[in-house]
Amino acid sequence: MGKNVYSNEVKWAVVKDKMSGQFTNQEIMEKYGIKNVSQIKTWMKWYRENQVHRFDQPIGKQYSYGHGPDSSSNEEKKERQMNHLKQENEILKKYLEIEKELKKKSSSN
């Protein structure tokens, strides 16, 4: 039985769904075909600790010093960083929407 490989897009989608608070871990696992809840916890930990460069690393590769493979060109690194920032921005916007909605609900009670 081999290891599953999840795309960068799936990892970001899982983080976004988890941050929204609208899905349980079980629902997220079913939605994206994730076999173990520890995978979700790992990606969330990377996100919280601002280690999002790890979303791009292949299985068994632990990039830390250079935050990516040495063979990546500056253009590739910039593109990856831009994608990460776009994803983070989307997550923050969603969080702010939810926070605003919760404040409306609590003030109307």
Name the more confident of 50 and 64.
50
Q: Is residue 66 over pLDDT 60?
A: no
Written as one string, the DSSP assignment of 20-78 is HT-S-HHHHHHHHT---HHHHHHHHHHHHTT-GGGGGPPTT----SSSS-TT--HHHHH
Name the more confident of 94 and 63.
94
- Residue 1 counted as domain residue: no
Q: Is residue 108 over pLDDT 60?
A: yes
pLDDT, one tens digit per residue, over 8-48 is 889 999 999 998 889 999 999 999 999 999 999 999 999 88
Residue 79 has phi, psi (to 5 degrees) of -65, -45
- Residue 73 counted as domain residue: yes
- Residue 88 counted as domain residue: yes
Global pTM reads 0.59
- Residue 3 counted as domain residue: no
- Residue 12 counted as domain residue: yes
- Residue 47 counted as domain residue: yes
Domain count, the chain: 1
Q: Is residue 72 over pLDDT 80?
A: no
Residue-range definition of the domain harbouring residue 56:
8-108
Q: What is residue 8's predicted lDDT score, i.e. its pLDDT?
A: 86
Q: pLDDT above 90 covers what percent of the chain?
A: 28
